Amino acid sequence: MKKIFSLLFILPLAYSCTVAQNPSKYANIITEQSSKDHLTILASKEFAGRGTNQEGGKKTVKYLAEQFESFGLKPIVNGSYYQPVALIQVAYKVDSFQLAGQSLINGQDFYIQGDNTNATFHGEEIVFVGYGIQDEKFNELKNTDLSGKIVLVINEGEPTDADGKSLITGTTDKSTWSTSRFKRIQELTKLNPKLILAVNSQNEAMITRMNNRGMMGRVALDRGNAAPSQRQSVPVVHIKKSIADQLLAKANTSFDQFITTKSATPSTAKVIKSTLHASMGVKQEKFTDPNVVGFLEGSDLKDEIIVVCGHWDHDGILPDGTYFPGADDNGSGTVAVIELAKAFAQAKKDGKGPRRSILFIALAAEEKGLLGSQYYVENPIFPLAQTVACINIDMIGRIDDKHLNGDHNYIHVIGVNKLSTDLKPIVEKANAEINMKLDYDYDHPEEPMRLYYRSDHYNFAKNGIPSLFFFSGLHPHYHTPEDTIDKIDFTMMTKREKLIFNTTWEIANRDKKPIVDMPLEDAQGTGR
């Protein structure tokens, strides 16, 4: 009996030594060429920026599922690689908008602030209220009834005297009617107009800068609750100067003329005969976009789960046809998830698979507010108590501004001073052969960008799961159409992928899971 017991005791140790060998053989399965091949597809025009609830997104998840299947990962979600994430999109839609007989286009001629349910707006006249200022020293709307009226307001500046002094403050200092972005609109709204047309010298630039994004609306998790009743608030239509001037000509003025005219006497509201007909309001659409999940079962510690993740989505394509390739954000991280899955799957085929199980997740809707990861932790495939670590990969393909003129052999590692004191030694051991500079600056408690809280790992960390975030840093093309594949440094990207592989390998095969011995929010280590 003693001999048998001894043998049984020795076998697990021997097994541990076997799987915990140097991971280089499998890290080297990750190559520049394969990484480039995958990213060329994911950042292509055909995939159109991998937008949430868009055709490019649908192509993306199909491609990812095909890769996981080709590696032999298990479809763990009821026999599928898809974990549907229930979402709802709330957007302000304009079915039609005609002003003075001219058809105008949302996102081209104007943009709208409003939360009214879809409704029809019609009027035969427009009330021009100047600056719309209602101040005891300068009141343009005294005894003016705007209830149910369509109103045109100069949403900029305030009256001054010949010396440039404000008629409200009596000094060169501007009043809150100018310095507050919302005051005059808020005060006008209290008078119950039907609709407000607001003109500002910056409206055209704002329309261009928004680049149709404002028409795409907000996306949130669909909790299955009844839609909240919406306030019938007053829509504010921010129009271009050129459009406003067509109306103001009927009042014998223009935008530029009005704001340069000096008068100590408030002008009275003027009625402009002009038609407006519009149909518009908030519309809701329920849909699903999936997390793509592939499972690699471990051996003697298979009940302990490591999550390796990166979000597959980006900004997609806009109504005007502009698309955002998202080669770095987060095509690079998505490719890394694919490459790590391939390498670990090959290790298992060779009988060198990980002791702990690994759940590879390409997460949905990160750009909409970390929604795919939030959905997962609220609906975990395996109990969160079994999840021992999260490895998140988000933007690892570029050289950031900080390192552009220095050493490119680096990676930002975020999270080493949160939750577990094991994380930093694990990463540094994994880096022994890779020999990259591990930049911990984003882990500083006073780091102003708070990047630890802005990517998908944070939803796991909030649930007490030790989490690491690998990141190559920000650059000028972040969230622009210029985040293209030609700017990716594939040599460094591949080296970073190998470091992340080694890190995951170490966590997957060490005898003990990462200890949770630090608070999430109060960790004091600087990481430097």
What percentage of the chain carries pLDDT values higher than 90?
80
- Write down the pLDDT at residue 424: 98
DSSP line for 182-237: SHHHHHHHTT--SEEEEE-TTHHHHHHHHTTGGGS-EEEE--SPPPPPPP-PPPEE
Say if residue 453's pLDDT is above 80: yes
Segment 154-179, tens digit of pLDDT: 999 999 998 889 999 999 999 999 99
The string of DSSP codes covering 431-444 is: TTTT--EEE-GGGS
Is residue 294 helix, strand or coil?
Answer: strand
Please tell me the predicted confidence (pLDDT) of residue 449: 87
This prediction's pTM: 0.81
**What does the radius of gyration of the chain's CA atoms come to, in whole angstroms?**
29
Contact present, 340 and 30 (Cβ < 8 Å)? yes
The conformation of residue 80, written as its DSSP 8-state character, comes to B
pLDDT (0 to 100) of residue 495: 98
pLDDT at 304 over 70: yes
- pLDDT value at 527 more than 50: no
Task: Identify the pLDDT of residue 519.
Answer: 84
In the structure, what pLDDT confidence band is assigned to residue 528 with cuts at 50, 70 and 90? very low
Task: Answer yes or no: is pLDDT of 6 > 70.
Answer: no
Q: Are 25 and 343 in contact (CB under 8 A)?
A: no
Average pLDDT over residues 318-322: 86
The per-residue pLDDT for 264 is 79
pLDDT of residue 198: 97
Q: Which residues of 113-139 are buried (b: 16+ CB within 10 A; e: fewer)?
A: bbebeeeebebeebbbbbbbbbbeebe
pLDDT above 80: residue 443: yes
290 Cβ contact list (under 8 Å, min separation 6): 61, 82, 83, 84, 85, 364
Q: SS3 letters for 133-165?
A: CEECCEECCCCCCCCCCEEEEECCCCCECCCCC
For 8-63, what is each residue's pLDDT tens digit?
333 444 444 444 467 889 999 999 999 999 999 999 999 999 999 999 999 999 99
Quick one: which of 335, 364, 349 has its CA closest to 67? 335
152, β-bridge pairs: 128, 197
| Whether 500 contacts 393, CB under 8 Å | yes
Token code pair at residue 381: 């495939």
The CATH architecture of the domain made up of 41-74+297-509 is 3-Layer(aba) Sandwich (3.40)
The CA distance from 257 to 171, in Å, is: 22
**Do 41-74+297-509 and 91-284 agree at the fold level?**
no
Alpha carbons within 13 A on the beta-carbon side of 276: 24
- Banded pLDDT at 522 (limits 50, 70, 90): very low
497-512 pLDDT, tens digit each:
999 999 999 999 999 9
Alpha carbon of 29 to those of 32, 490, 506: distances in Å?
10, 15, 17
Residue 359's beta-bridge partner residues? 295, 307
pLDDT tens profile 418-442 = 999 999 999 999 999 999 999 999 9
Alpha carbon distance, N-terminus to C-terminus of the chain: 53
Percent of the chain scoring above 70 in pLDDT = 92
Task: State mean pLDDT over 356-375.
Answer: 97
If pLDDT is split at 50, 70 and 90, which confidence band does 447 have? confident
Q: How is the chain split into domains, by residue range? A: 41-74+297-509, 91-284
The model's pLDDT over 203-221, given as tens digits with 9 standing for 90+, comes to 998 887 776 666 778 899 9
pLDDT at 414: 97
| Separation CA 423–CA 389 (nearest Å) | 10
The tens digit of pLDDT for each residue in 239-297 reads 999 999 999 999 999 999 999 988 878 888 999 999 999 999 999 999 999 999 999 99
Mean pLDDT of the chain: 91
Classify 446 as helix, strand or coil.
Answer: coil
CA separation for the pair 344, 148 (Å, rounded): 66
> Which pLDDT belongs to residue 306?
98
Give CA 307 to chain center in angstroms.
21
pLDDT at 456 over 60: yes
**For 91-284, which CATH class?**
alpha beta
Q: How far apart are CA 345 and CA 446, in angstroms?
A: 40
How much is the pLDDT for 190? 94
338 conformational bin, left if phi > 0, alpha if psi -120 to 50, beta if neither: alpha
